[in-house]
Structure 1
């Protein structure tokens, strides 16, 4: 009996140690199993993300409001229409009708002509990028590009018909010239010529060619305008490093068939960077010229040279105000995107075409109305013409035009003394 008890007592003690070892092994196995399960879970998650989701197509964007609906909504609200398309609804619809009837603006199954024109004007006026247009109109990038280029070509075709003088003979004297300050002294004046720099993005290898004295890459655009603030001749595409006079001399030869050359005894006003030659009346050099300079000295012009320059500048600033309205309205001209040079040139020309169309419509427009109400209103615009002391190329004046300038200066000074 006791032996059995003794044996049982000894066997019971060894059994406790074995149980502890078994529990330890079981815990280790459970821990390993948990780790393996966690690893498998991570692998399953990774597989789901990288493999299964590839087979699932992302849901197509559902437009809350289609591009056509958005354009029509803006056309129904004049103030909103002007903000988005830079013109009031009546001008927009007139432009659309003309482009459709005469310049092949077409609708397609992807986008109708109203939506195409609205998108185009919205991108030029904003400016808005192609990605923004893709998001706003819920169209593919390819469709946005194709429709933009379609409208661009239509508008430039229109430009060929409206960027020109209303009367190529210049038979009628503009009411501005008949103002007592200028009449009859400037009776032969028919408009003004100048260049303006339009910032553009170009490839790195072209930076030096397009870098002008303003320290940014640009196109130097030559323009002629009349006293209604309409462009009558435009040449875009020249690199910003090229001076106005080189562009001018090249353009009047290359585009002689369309350039509105001044008739005999008539002339355009030009700044001191151009020669004083027959058909082009420049100010006296070395004498105060720009209106801002006269304002800064806080005294009226004195002497016949200053009197002439002051009134010459007062007339010639029509070209600066015209550029100002252009850039205020079509803000893509503040930094034309990275297109090919030809496309950038077409965008600039299209903006100038739209400028003329709005002006010719004789309908209300905020920017033009400000200029009509106040002849001294100058829209904010970068300076593009040389001021007193600026470095300009030496130009060759002609005796005949120097005599004309002296005669005008003398008559202005005599008239000033008589009042």
Structure 2
């Protein structure tokens, strides 16, 4: 017992001595070492900083240049930066402003640039550009709940003011369709992502209102997944797609007829290019399909505008697959943000989609119907 006490007292004495030595080091020796360390004084900007500021000021300079480089006009760009700054989603630093961080992100998603391609413009390291890219991607994703949502369930003016659609589609609040976005995945799982095009893609399902705004987006499914399976998954999710009572979404023939979803008649002509002044509809079913196609082209215009604006969705991206899924959602959010400030040349007209998109839909519907059978 006495031996244990002596050992305890010895340990206490050694601990007290160690604390005293550390205290003396921090009180006397460390301050003198700091005094000998040369201090860093900030001087005038270097030539690299001057070039960086010049390039950054040139990007949003002028509406045309801002639209070509950053894929949006000056007003939405600067208001988006101010929104991130006000909500503390992004912050200025002594090295980089919020405008520079957002410009890096927009150049990547707008032109599918690699990070090393931005080094001559921003004079930053690849690590710095990658870090800011992830921060802006997270900031854009935080706007999802307020940007990807249905603003109203009222009948749109496009229907109420057109006797071709009213009152036959008076309960329609939008259109639903899927699109394939090129994906880069490991070779071990690439077979599941290969659809009819033979290249890995992710199948993205989206609901669009008649203002070309995305009201729901589900990304991440393999390119070989059936559209009906993706729709079923969207309806089963807790925060998934919900159809208001008494309302409908226009869908193509790849989806089944069910409450809330209005497909065209099968076995009848459907696409706009199949009709003309000499080849007019012969019965009520063909007339319904013609007007259904004329109204559902809205979702094709939305997808066309999305891929025209953000080329990262039109090419194989240089990012992990989880990031690719987030990028699809981010591009849809930015698309809705830009539409608040009016339309721009990236949105295709309906006439431009009659031939190209309808032919693609024909192939997709044949695949979907054959798979369902």
Match of 1:288 in 2: 269
Indicate whether 1:376 and 2:351 are aligned: yes
For 2:260 and 2:200, locate their aligned partners in 1 and report how far apart those are by CA, in whole Å.
32
Over the aligned positions, Cα root-mean-square deviation in angstroms equals 2.5
Q: Is the 8 A contact 2:148 2:336 kept in 1?
A: yes
Cα displacement string for residues 366-405 of structure 1 (whole angstroms, at most 9, x for unaligned residues) = 224x64xxx4343976966344971324699xxxxxxxxx
CA displacement at 1:165 relative to structure 2: 0.4
Q: 1:127 to 1:185 in 2, by over 3 A?
A: same
Q: Is the 8 A contact 2:172 2:249 kept in 1?
A: yes
Q: TM-score, normalised by structure 2?
A: 0.81
Q: Is the 8 A contact 1:275 1:395 kept in 2?
A: no
For 2:363 and 2:70, locate their aligned partners in 1 and report how far apart those are by CA, in whole Å.
35
Indicate whether 1:392 and 2:373 are aligned: no
Match of 1:19 in 2: none
For 2:77 and 2:358, locate their aligned partners in 1 and report how far apart those are by CA, in whole Å.
28
Q: Is the 8 A contact 1:336 1:344 kept in 2?
A: no
For 1:351 and 1:227, locate their aligned partners in 2 and report how far apart those are by CA, in whole Å.
19
Q: Is the 8 A contact 1:273 1:392 kept in 2?
A: yes
Q: 1:126 to 1:327 in 2, by over 3 A?
A: same
| Equivalent in 151, 170, 176 of residue 158 of structure 2 | 176
Match of 2:139 in 1: 154
| Alignment gaps of 5+ in structure 1 | 1-60, 397-419
Q: 1:288 to 1:65 in 2, by over 3 A?
A: farther
Indicate whether 1:354 and 2:334 are aligned: yes
For 2:163 and 2:51, locate their aligned partners in 1 and report how far apart those are by CA, in whole Å.
56
Q: Is the 8 A contact 1:290 1:387 kept in 2?
A: no
For 2:240 and 2:364, locate their aligned partners in 1 and report how far apart those are by CA, in whole Å.
33
Q: Is the 8 A contact 1:231 1:352 kept in 2?
A: yes
Indicate whether 1:207 and 2:190 are aligned: yes
Q: 1:144 to 1:382 in 2, by over 3 A?
A: farther
Q: Could you say what secondary structure the match of 1:180 adopts?
A: coil
| Alignment gaps of 5+ in structure 2 | 1-45
Match of 1:309 in 2: 289
Q: Give the total of aligned pairs.
A: 326
Matches within 5 A, 1:134-283: 134-167=119-152, 170=153, 172-178=154-160, 179-254=162-237, 256-259=238-241, 261-283=242-264
| Equivalent in 304, 312, 329 of residue 332 of structure 1 | 312
Match of 2:94 in 1: 109
Q: Could you say what secondary structure the match of 1:183 adopts?
A: coil
CA displacement at 1:246 relative to structure 2: 0.6
Q: Which has the larger radius of gyration?
A: 1
For 2:156 and 2:232, locate their aligned partners in 1 and report how far apart those are by CA, in whole Å.
27
Q: Is the 8 A contact 1:273 1:395 kept in 2?
A: no
Q: 1:65 to 1:307 in 2, by over 3 A?
A: farther
Q: 1:392 to 1:364 in 2, by over 3 A?
A: closer
